Chains A and B, each alone.
Chain A
Amino acid sequence: MSGNMNLTLKVWRQKNDKTRGKFITYQANNISPDMSFLEMLDVVNEELVRKGEDPIHFDHDCREGICGMCSLHINGRPHGPKQGTTTCQLHMRSFHDGQTIVIEPWRAAAFPVIKDLAVDRSAFDRIQQAGGYINVNTGGVPDANSIPIPKVIADEAFESATCISCGACVAACKNASAMLFVSAKISQYALLPQGQTERYSRAQAMVAQMDAEGFGSCTNTGACEAECPVGIKLTNIARMNREYLTAKLFKEEEPH
């Protein structure tokens, strides 16, 4: 087919987190510009399977930009050269015929490589489990509008809650910091009335777990915000700092 592309891929191959990885070069021939990046990798993998070689492992699930499962550091940027998109929604028309594409996994001590391009992001789950929830007693369904919430607060909380936990913020950050993720998760509860009960213990617990997982610190470069596929904003980090410092400096942990 005319308009199809031939590409050179430099792909990170690594057996598991105990072994050292290296780049292997593959040719991706006759790639349609309408394919997604993951479909292009599927084509390469089919070829590898036909040849009896080990296919390239990478994370994916919904392929609709919703689930946060796909990753990939493509030519030096998480989720590739486009802003506001996940790798599954990145199309091959963003590349040109003959281009060399370097594909790496998210690189962070807290995200050990499972195999090739797939990394273990369970550190995010543990941070979430440390406090990213609210305790509610189940019972009857409450009346609609029984808890009034100003629209600006509802909108902000909703924007924070759009985080899909893909880890692009960690991948983009020069310090492999998870602050954008953690701050979004803290914000969505800190803003809403339902989250007030555990507001300050949550901020402390989630930050403590973030540090324990071995993520870096924030240098306020803004790389995370620029690369976030769903547009989580830096103001979440400022809010997390407020929540955390308020908790540490002004809140009692025991009855006074």
Chain B
Amino acid sequence: MSKSTHLFSSSLGKKLIMSLTGLFLCTFLIVHLIGNLQLFYDDQGKAFNDYAHFMTHFTPIRIVSYLLYASIVIHAVYALVLTINNRKARPVRYAAYEGSANSAWSSRNMGLLGTVLLVFIVTHMSNFWWKYHNDGVPYIEYRTDLTTQETTATELVGEEYTDYVKYVDNDIEILKAKDLYKQVQFTFQNWVLVAFYVIAMAALSFHLIHGFKSAFQTLGFDHQKYAPIIRFIGIWLFGVAIPIGFAAMPIYFYFFN
């Protein structure tokens, strides 16, 4: 038996990378959804804006976010490499090919779904991440009376104010933060973007219905007792609950806010 090759140059090693980066991105989705549910608070965006500042300035989270960007890039690059190799493995295509007779549509179209998601991620980050990090977002001041819990919000004009502060003075809590909530409201007035976000979440659903359980198969995890649990989580949490939760946000802002 001949000398072995390096792990990551093998087909199985590349699939291992796809699996691990994919699962890491799945865990991110849970955090991202729970955090963004604060958009549904009726508090003029105070909780959401405070949270957005925390997520972009707390060092451990910033480190994880760079791992996340790297994962997206690695997942996409390896997908491309694997797809090119897979195409080379069948240079002459079939004239008749009944894929639907033996496999699910989503499993045969992970590349297409992933491409939609990549375009979505670029759009999404330019809508919010880029604006937030490049002074495209104005500041807002919240004054909360801690005895009555009443909050008043005042927009801070233009470039005059650029500092995050949070303190309590005379039972009045004062918070000045970037008003990302306003940017969310503004972005989701555009029906084209709302439609694209909803379509992208449908793509996310199909991508994860196949991808989540597939990742465990690639890791070699396939046990009669636990595989049904993984399939259940893949379908109902990652295929249904999370995409619906995300899709609800643009729909909510377009129709009700």
Which residue of the partner chain, among A76, A215, A242, contacts B96 with CB atoms under 8 Å? Answer: A76
Complex contact B1–A205 (CB within 8 A): yes
CB-CB under 8 A from B59, the residues of chain A are none
Complex contact A238–B222 (CB within 8 A): yes
A244–B110 alpha-carbon span in the complex (Å): 24
Binary flags per residue of B63-101, CB closer than 8 Å to A gives 1, else 0: 000000000000000000010011011111111111101
Complex contact A23–B95 (CB within 8 A): yes
Chain A, interface residues (CB within 8 Å), range = 35 or more
Complex contact B12–A202 (CB within 8 A): no
CB-CB under 8 A from A215, the residues of chain B are 11, 89
Q: Does A9 contact B (CB under 8 A)?
A: no
> Known contacts being A107-B90, A211-B10, A239-B220, is A172 close to B102, with CB within 8 Å?
yes
B76 to chain A, nearest CB (A): 16
Segment of A43-51, A91-99, A137-145, A174-182 in the binding face: A174-182
Chain B, interface residues (CB within 8 Å), range = 35 or more
Q: Does B189 contact A (CB under 8 A)?
A: no
Q: Does B16 contact A (CB under 8 A)?
A: yes
Q: Does B27 contact A (CB under 8 A)?
A: no
Complex contact A248–B4 (CB within 8 A): yes
Complex contact A174–B86 (CB within 8 A): yes
Q: Does A185 contact B (CB under 8 A)?
A: no
Q: Does A217 contact B (CB under 8 A)?
A: yes
Complex contact B108–A174 (CB within 8 A): yes
Complex contact A221–B89 (CB within 8 A): no
Segment of B143-151, B196-204, B210-218 in the binding face: B210-218
Q: Does A210 contact B (CB under 8 A)?
A: yes
> Known contacts being A220-B217, A227-B102, is A109 close to B4, with CB within 8 Å?
no
Q: Does A108 contact B (CB under 8 A)?
A: yes
Contacting residues of chain A (226-256) with chain B, CB-CB under 8 angstroms: 226-227, 234-235, 237-245, 247-249, 253
Complex contact A218–B218 (CB within 8 A): yes
CB-CB under 8 A from A25, the residues of chain B are none
Q: Does B192 contact A (CB under 8 A)?
A: no
CB-CB under 8 A from A201, the residues of chain B are 1, 4
Complex contact B217–A104 (CB within 8 A): no
Contacting residues of chain B (207-243) with chain A, CB-CB under 8 angstroms: 210, 213-214, 217-222
The 3 closest A-B pairs by CB, nearest first: A242-B220, A76-B98, A238-B222
A12-B95, A75-B98, A104-B94 given; 5 more Cβ-contact pairs under 8 Å: A10-B95, A102-B95, A130-B1, A174-B90, A217-B85
